[in-house]
Amino acid sequence: MEIEFKFHIPADRLKAVDAALRRGAVVRTRLQARYFDTADERLAAQGIVLRLRKEGRRWVQTVKATGDNALHRLEHNVDLGTAGTSPGIDPQRHQGTPVGERLAQALAGEDGQPAALVERQSTDIVRLTRDVRSTGPGGVVAELALDVGKVVAHAGTPEQRESPVCELELELKRGSVPGLVALAQRWSQQHGLWFSTISKAERGARLLAGLDVVPAIKAEPPRFASAPDGRAIQRAVVANCLAQILPNATEVAAGSDDEEQVHQLRIGIRRLRTALRELEGLDPTGAFDRAGWEPALVDCFRALGALRDREQVAKIAQPKLREAGAPEVDPLAGEAADAGATQPSPGEAVRAPAFQAVLVALIGFTATEAPAPEPAAEGAPPVTPLDSDDARRFLRKRLQRLHEQALRDGGRFESLDTDSQHRVRKRLKRLRYLAEFAAPLFETRDERKGDDKSAAERYLKRLRPAQDALGEFNDEAVAMALYREATAHDARAWFAVGWFSARHAAGAAACREALEKIEGAPRFWKKGRGKS
């Protein structure tokens, strides 16, 4: 199983990276690869890559598949020798290996025969490699590989589409994951690189499909091993958050301004911040570095939303105001230009060194096994993560506390000031995300089989009316503030201020009523509902 980081190299940084790599003895290899899949791309759909690659004079057949986190990949290589021509592809060469079994399952047809393979794309890469040793605590030996070249998509026509490749990979050969994290952070920070999830195979698939923008990645439920302890829960949830964050961050860092990708990236960061806040107590050993990770996440989240939140609110508000007969007023007139001079673009926010360093640290956290317990003072028990039962009790208390806070907030919502009302909305989001994280740990066997809606699904459904009411109330509060600011340059904006002001009390009452209805929601974490 490989453990590696891969970074995109901006064109203006390539010369410096090349020079830094050549400060030691490097090996230059030309890599010419052919990638195979079925006509309906079933390997790509399951995260599997099958290729033949000429490395210098030797041919190597490789199959790779995604592992259980952003650093791990299953891989098996078969050296085919120095044949003069490209040998044929043969999936049977990987038989008897874990990744070979996944390949065989993906290719299995209904008639028992494997599906036919076709060449989908090729690459022509010049690779410079060098082993780097990092001494001291967490010392490692890592292979640095600088890949420069192109991916070519074979669309079955004389026309071929190409995409440039310029990336740096750091693969752990010996030592610890934290040591590799430190080395990756040093290289990425020094040269302005950003973590990338786009493989060469994926580049070719995009070329074949003619995709300039790929769909944004949304959140999926986390997966847990059987009876996970506190540390394992933390790792699984952080990995789950990163599965949403990293692909969207890769696209935004590369220059995409797709609104949905930015939106899903912000959701991923918000989910991750909830995990850092609510799961910190699952492991008292200190490996869960909330204080070190959170500031950069907050900065990026705010930068991504600084102007877009206001733009989105204006889009929602203007049709309502037109229907009410309001004069046409643009509350953001001149704001975009002003913000452009002071606010980073989404890409700049994601490429920020502090944010990239935290992403690398979090990826490393998900791939690092729990350290041995620290020696305790004489007579004191060792400091260890909570065991599975204690971890579930911890989550039960956190969920119950947030649930009760939502009910308390509902009863007094109309009397709260604006900032406190906004905090209610954020707290409800935390309740929702924590419920989503914890739900698999409290499911019964029948619920896991999908016989009916799970108790967690029913609970989350009961939260939605309150989320919607609070979201609309917040949007109107932001819109009212926007139009109030706009009165300084356009007196016609006072109509909107008055209109939203008149709706404020009714909106607050709707929030109170929606929050009060949460009381009857079936609490899936109730004692006695443990896994059966």
Inside any domain, residue 527 = no
**Block mean pLDDT (10 aa), the chain, length 532:** 89 97 95 91 90 91 82 86 86 94 91 86 95 81 96 70 94 92 95 95 88 92 93 96 97 94 96 97 91 96 82 86 92 61 85 97 88 60 88 97 94 94 95 97 68 82 96 92 91 95 96 93 75 39
| Same-domain check for residues 289 and 236 | yes
Please state, in angstroms and as integers, the Cα–Cα distance from residue 75 to each residue in 67, 100, 410, following that order.
Answer: 9, 9, 53
**CA–CA distance, 426 with 259 (Å, rounded to integer):** 22
Handedness of CA 350, 354, 360, 366 (dihedral sign): negative
Inside any domain, residue 319 = yes
**CA–CA distance, 455 with 439 (Å, rounded to integer):** 9
Cα 276-277-279 angle, rounded to 5 deg: 70
Inside any domain, residue 378 = no
**CB-based contact 350:265 (threshold 8 Å):** yes
503: containing domain: 307-338+387-520
| Same-domain check for residues 217 and 207 | no
Structure tokens at 379: 């007579």
| Residue 27: how many other CB atoms lie within 10 Å | 12
Cβ neighbors of 514 (< 8 A, separation 6 or more) are 410, 465, 466, 468, 469, 470
**CB-based contact 251:261 (threshold 8 Å):** yes
| Same-domain check for residues 146 and 270 | no
| Same-domain check for residues 506 and 357 | no
Q: What is the pLDDT of residue 340?
A: 47
**CA–CA distance, 528 with 393 (Å, rounded to integer):** 11
Inside any domain, residue 324 = yes
**CA–CA distance, 146 with 167 (Å, rounded to integer):** 6
Inside any domain, residue 360 = yes
**CB-based contact 73:169 (threshold 8 Å):** no
| Same-domain check for residues 149 and 222 | no
Structure tokens at 170: 């750091």
CATH code for the domain of 302: 1.20.120
| Same-domain check for residues 495 and 432 | yes
Inside any domain, residue 531 = no
Position of tokens 């503030």? Answer: 481
* Closest residue by Cα to residue 168 from 122, 132, 213: 132
- Residue 249 DSSP class: H
Q: How far apart are the first and last CA of the chain?
A: 33
Angle separating helix axes 455-486 and 418-442, nearest 10 degrees: 160
Position of tokens 């590696």? Answer: 4
Q: What is the dihedral of CA 74, 80, 81, 87, to 10 degrees?
A: -130
Please state the domain count of the chain: 3
Q: What is the pLDDT of residue 531?
A: 44
Residues forming a β-bridge with 64 = 49, 75
Length of the chain: 532
| Same-domain check for residues 208 and 152 | yes
Q: What is the pLDDT of residue 278?
A: 97
| Same-domain check for residues 476 and 487 | yes
Position of tokens 């074979």? Answer: 154
**Reduced to 3 states, what is the DSSP secondary structure of residue 494?**
helix
Q: What is the dihedral of CA 168, 170, 171, 176, to 10 degrees?
A: -170
Inside any domain, residue 226 = yes
| Same-domain check for residues 265 and 404 | no
CATH code for the domain of 9: 2.40.320.10
| Same-domain check for residues 476 and 422 | yes
**CA–CA distance, 455 with 524 (Å, rounded to integer):** 5
**CB-based contact 261:252 (threshold 8 Å):** yes
Question: Is the pTM higher than 0.85?
Answer: yes
Cβ neighbors of 368 (< 8 A, separation 6 or more) are 176, 177, 178, 287
Buried b (16+ CB within 10 A) or exposed e, 448-468: eeeeeebbbbebbebbeebbe
| Same-domain check for residues 62 and 104 | yes
Inside any domain, residue 435 = yes
Q: In terms of C-beta distances under 8 Å and separation of at least 24 residues, what long-range contacts does 497-505 make, across chains too?
A: 499/321, 499/324, 499/326, 500/317, 500/476, 503/476, 504/476, 504/477, 504/480, 505/414
| Same-domain check for residues 267 and 362 | yes
